[in-house]
A and B are shown apart, each in its own frame.
Chain A
């Protein structure tokens, strides 16, 4: 009889501790959302860089296209720690840099007047949100829950193994130990129940915001990617064709210096064409819009997990009441059994 009670009670505690362990139900989706946000943050950073590169190319070509333009570069004025004007390729006639890096950084269309890129700023806000969610989902109790599970399990084994020859004092001590485990399990359940409620409210509130931000950022980054790919495809083709055309003209009557310049240039063009081709392939291999969709999906998955956890917790609250009743019943029954055993020993 007592054995059955202990078994039922231990199963109840284990089950409840398992509910407390239900932290995994939403901690994993929270971690996945945080990871998805980090991926998109890196993408946004990379693609903002790509846009600057596109603009730099446009600026460069607008200066250097006319055939009459000659350039200057003075290696002797290039010093480590001083990457200023002296180390820049300049237009010979004007002395101005072909690409004004400082002006580009300060007045580029992507960069705001305060020097903050709005896309990166928005992603930063998203990262803060993901970090807070993760912090709320994982705060402090995970280790406690694991400890509670282990303690519950070992207490059950001890109880089951030593029940047959317990005296009253030992049984009372076990009952107290068991009560401690029950208190731990109840506390964990309460924390998880509160955590789920708090997270659910927050994530429900955040769902439309995260969706809108994901769609907006995905659209911006996707647009930059398309723009870059189109530009890059034409740029690679232009370089390949230039390489071919320069090769066709080789051997024609011209000065030695001109021939040498032609060969050097051709080698550089091939090197550049390959480098641009690798850059193109790298950018094409990334599904930028897909990454933002994944982030959105990860947040929705977190919401679903929380809704599920919330309904599970509802059932667990009924189980708490049953367990509290069982704990007091067990204590009384255990003491009664011990008394009976002692009485029997006295008779023998």
Chain B
């Protein structure tokens, strides 16, 4: 009886904890803290909902492009480096972004794709070191070089970036819904 009295409070505590977190079947793994999730989560939705506070302009971005070493690999003008070209070819027809070549995510319908890639993937060897302000400015500069925005003083931030009208905003194909055990394209025999 004595030991049973000792056990009782522990049982109650455990059940309380489980109720609070809603139980998993295997009870393996732990719950991350809110801080951990914030620190790990660098995904950026097309809505921009995860974009951090901060702001920048193409004017500042032009300076950063030199200071942060971008120009070292991509060339001073973003056209003549050993790393991929960052400026669209002069096709003269802004209405057909599919003629730009596969540069930046310039053909993405969302400016968030450009921001996200610079933030996660650049500069080579120093990925993840750019501050949010710097990413906004570099994004603005590259969009400016590609005529997507025309004002080098335009402030891009978490509110304005998702609203930037990309050349391909409408002109792209959604991937179809996927279901198991179905052909990859209905009506296509191959």
A joins B in a complex: no
Residues in B lying within 8 Å of A, measured CB to CB: none
Residues in A lying within 8 Å of B, measured CB to CB: none
